[in-house]
Amino acid sequence: MADLIQTPINRFDSSEKSGGLARYIADIPFKDMLFAKTLRSTRSRARIRAVHLPDLPQGYATIDRTDAPGSNRVHMIEDDWPFFAEETVNYVGEPILLLVGSDRAEILRLLSEISVEYEDLEPVLTIEESLAAEEPFYGERNIIAEYAIEKGDPDRAFEQAARVFEDEYCTGLQEHVYLEPQGVVAVFEKGRVTVYGSMQCPFYMKNALEQAFGWEPDRIRVVQTTTGGGFGGKEEYTSVLAGHAAFAAYKTGRPVQLILDRAEDISVTTKRHPSISRYRAAVDDRGNITALQVHIMLDGGAYAGLSSVVLQRSMLMAAGVYNIPNARITGQVLATNNIPSGAFRGFGAPQSLFAVEMHLHSLAEQLGEDPLDFKMKHALQRGDQTVSCGRMHHEVKLPEMVHILEEMSGYREKRRSLREQSSRVLKGIGLSLFFHGCAFTGSGEQDKIQAVVKLRKGKDGKVEILVSNAEIGQGPHTTLRKIVSHTLGIPVGDVLYGNPDTDRVPDSGPTVASRTVMIVGAMLERAATDLRDRMHEKGEVEVTRQYEQPDYICWDQDTLQGDAYPTYSWGANAVQVEVDPVTFEIRITGLWGVYDVGTPIDEQVVLGQIEGGMAQGLGYATLEVMVKKNGKPMQANLTDYIIPTAGDFPRMEAKLVKSSYEYGPFGAKCVGELPFLGAAPALVSAVEHALRQSVTRIPVTPEYLMEAVEHDHPIHPER
C-alpha cells in the first residue's frame, strides 16, 4: 500500500447515492404489501376509557397492545416503554393502535372515524413541574435516574473559598432531522419475522423483537437498508416501529410497511434532552478553581429509554476539559409527559459542555482574566485525575491545538479589536475547548456489548467484513474497508462490506457512541492481522475476533468511579459573529476548529463529520427552536423547525493535529460526536462578546437576546 490510510479515497456509496440508485426502505416494494398508520394520543396524560372502531372493510385490521405475542414492552434498559399504550397515555403522540390495509387513503379515512374516550389526568410538562408534582406519575418521585459522583473534598473547598460563583444554564429540545424519515417493513414467512429498515443498531432491534414476540432468537431477523442519516435518532426508537410493523405482519400474514411522514416523525420520535444545569465554583485567592458543584437535570419525557446512560455521560463530561481538584456532580433525569427524550449525537455531553464552557467563561470575566488564559490555566494534562477519579492516560494536545486555533482565527487580536471598531453591527469572537469520551462509558464494551467481528476470505481472494455496524452516512463502508485492506495489503476494492443482516453477521455492537472506527475498526484490524497469515490458503477462511478491553481501564459501574472512557478526542473552536443591535439577528462571519481524533482513517470522511457536526451544533445553538404547547410540539414540520441551509454559515476552516492512540486502528480515536460539542459554547461566547451581555440559554434567538437586553440580565463587569 503506497497510500497512507489518511489519504482520502472516493467513498464506495457515493456514486449509487448520487444517481438515485441506492434503495432506502421506502424504495423497496414487497409483494402484497400493506400500508400502516398509527392512531396516536391527543392527550398529554389520560386514562383510556374506550376506543370505538368503525366497521373495518375486508383486508383492513387494527393492531394494539393485545397483539404483542410476547411482551408489549420495548426492550431497552428499563423495559418501561410500551409498544402500544396500556391503561394510560403519557404523552401527545403515544401510539394507541396501528391501522393496516392496502389503500393509504382508506386507512386515513378509517383512522378519522376512530374515537377514543379519554379521562384526562394532570400532566407534568416541564422539569420544574415534574419536581414539584404532588402526585408523581413515574415511580415514587418522577425520577427516571439519578447519580452522584464525587472527587476530593468539595465541602471543604467551598468553606475555604475566597469567592464562590453560581450560574444556571438551560438548553432546549433538538430534533435530529435525518433527511430520510424513519421507516421499516416487516415480513412474516415460514414461522420467522424479518424486519427491514432504516436503522443504526440491527441487534438492538433484534433483541427488542425477541422479547416482544417471546420467540427463540433464530426466528427473528433484522436487515438494515440504506439509511438516510441517524444522528442517534435511529438508535433505540426504531425498535418501537419494528414492533408495530412486525406485530401487524404476524397478524395479517402480509408484509407491512410503516414509514413516518415528516410531520409525524418530528412530532413523535425522540429528541435531545432539554436540560437545566446549576454550576457553583469555588475559587481561591489566586483565581484558581478549587471546586465545582454541579447539578444537572434532564427532561427524560414519559419513559426511561436510554436516559440513564445519557445522564451518566452528561455528568462525566460536566467538568469539561479542566482539572478541578474537588468536585461533586449530581444529576437527575425527570419524567415528564413529553415525547421520550433519546439518543442524539453527543448523548448528554452537549448540554454539560455548553454549561461548563459558559461557566468558566463567566468566571474569567468576573475575575478580570482573559477567558482563554483562564481556561488553559485549568486544562487537563496527561496523568491528571478526571472528575470520576480516573486518569488521563494519554497525551493531551490542547496547548498545541489552542496555539493553532489562535493563529487561524486571530482570536486574541480580535478579542481586543472587534470591540473597539465602531460599526452599526456589534462584533464578537468566542472560543470553546472540549473533548469527547470515546465509545461506551466505563467497561460497557466488555461487560455489556461484548462485540464480535468476523472476516471471511472467499475462494476468489476477496475479503468480506461481517459486522453489525451500519453505514448511516458517517462513512464506515469506506473507512472499515480501508482498515482491512491496509492491514492485509490488498486493494480496497477487494474488501466487501454490505448492509448488515443479522442472519449473516455477528453482533459487533450498535452504531453509536462514535465507536465504529475506534472499537470495531480495531477489532477488524486484529482480525485482518490474523487473516494475513492465512490468505494463501485455498478455499474459504473465516477469522473471528472478540473485544478485549485494554488493561489500563479501571471502572466501577456502581459508583461511576474510574476511567470513564478508554480515551478522549479533543477539539477547540472559535466562532466570529455580528449581531444586529436592532433586530438581534446573529450572523456568523468566521468558523475555525482544531481537532485531535488520533489518526484520521480518511481525512475527507473526518472533515465531513467535522463540518456537518459543526453545522448541526450551530443549528442547536441558534436556529433550532422547538417549544411545546400542552405537550405538543409547535414546530412539527421543516417550515417551522428550521435547520441550517447552505446560505446560513460561512465555510469552516478545520485542522487536525498529529496524534495516535495505540489501541485504535492505525492510531484512530473517535470522531462522529466530537465536532458537535464545541459549536454552541463558542458561538454563544462570541455573542456575549459582541453584546457585552450574559447568555445562559440555547437556542439563542433574536427574541431571547432582545428580552435579555431589555430586562437587563446580568451584564458582566467591564472586561
Site residues, other proteins (CB under 8 A): 8, 10-11, 13-24, 26-27, 176-181, 226-231, 261-263, 472-475, 604-605, 607-608, 611-616, 637-639, 643-647, 649, 651-652
Q: Which of 513, 497, 521 is nearest to 601 (CA)?
A: 521
Cβ nearer to other proteins, comparing 241 with 318:
241
| Minimum CB distance to other proteins, residue 263 (Å) | 8
Helices (H), 643-718: 674-677, 679-691, 702-710
| Minimum CB distance to other proteins, residue 265 (Å) | 9
Cβ nearer to other proteins, comparing 208 with 256:
256
Cβ nearer to other proteins, comparing 187 with 605:
605
| Minimum CB distance to other proteins, residue 4 (Å) | 17
Cβ nearer to other proteins, comparing 20 with 191:
20
Cβ nearer to other proteins, comparing 444 with 612:
612
Those residues with Cβ within 8 angstroms of residue 219's Cβ, 6 or more apart along the chain or in another chain? 191, 192, 193, 213
| Minimum CB distance to other proteins, residue 238 (Å) | 15
Integer Rg of the chain from CA: 26
Cβ nearer to other proteins, comparing 94 with 602:
602
Of all residues in the chain, what percent are helix, strand and coil, respectively (each to 5)? Answer: 30, 25, 45
| Minimum CB distance to other proteins, residue 435 (Å) | 21
Q: Which of 501, 519, 499 is nearest to 509 (CA)?
A: 519
Cβ nearer to other proteins, comparing 25 with 543:
25
**What is the number of other CB atoms lying within 10 angstroms of the CB of residue 133?**
18
User: Would you call 87 helix, strand, or coil by DSSP?
Assistant: coil
Cβ nearer to other proteins, comparing 508 with 616:
616
Phi/psi for 211 (5° steps) reads: -70, -40
Cβ nearer to other proteins, comparing 176 with 313:
176
| Minimum CB distance to other proteins, residue 15 (Å) | 6
C-alpha cell at 232: 442517534
| Minimum CB distance to other proteins, residue 177 (Å) | 5
Phi/psi for 475 (5° steps) reads: 110, 5
Q: What's the first-to-final CA gap in the chain, in angstroms? A: 55
Residue 606 to residues 409, 483, 617, 654, Cα–Cα distance (Å): 21, 14, 16, 10
| Minimum CB distance to other proteins, residue 593 (Å) | 11
On whether the CB atoms of residues 411 and 431 are closer than 8 A, the answer is yes
Cβ nearer to other proteins, comparing 15 with 630:
15
| Minimum CB distance to other proteins, residue 637 (Å) | 6
| Minimum CB distance to other proteins, residue 672 (Å) | 11
Spell out a b/e string for 416-454, using b for 16 or more CB atoms within 10 Å of the CB, else e: eebeeeeeeebbbbbbbbbbbbbbbbbbbbbeebebbbb
On whether the CB atoms of residues 197 and 241 are closer than 8 A, the answer is yes
On whether the CB atoms of residues 221 and 193 are closer than 8 A, the answer is yes
| Minimum CB distance to other proteins, residue 24 (Å) | 6
| Minimum CB distance to other proteins, residue 5 (Å) | 16
**What is the number of other CB atoms lying within 10 angstroms of the CB of residue 179?**
12
**Alpha carbons 383 and 392: distance in angstroms, whole number:** 5
Going by the DSSP 8-state scheme, the letter that residue 715 receives in this structure is P
Across the beta sheet with 256-259, the strand order is 61-63, 95-101, 34-40, 256-259, 183-189, 192-197, 220-224
| Minimum CB distance to other proteins, residue 678 (Å) | 14
Cβ nearer to other proteins, comparing 229 with 442:
229
What is the number of alpha carbons within 13 Å of residue 456 lying toward its C-beta?
12
| Minimum CB distance to other proteins, residue 41 (Å) | 23
Cβ nearer to other proteins, comparing 35 with 565:
35
528 Cα distance to chain centroid: 30
On whether the CB atoms of residues 366 and 716 are closer than 8 A, the answer is yes
What is the number of alpha carbons within 13 Å of residue 274 lying toward its C-beta?
23
Cβ nearer to other proteins, comparing 261 with 556:
261
Degrees, nearest 5: CA angle 535-539-544: 60
H or E element in which residue 353 lies: helix 349-367
Cβ nearer to other proteins, comparing 243 with 612:
612
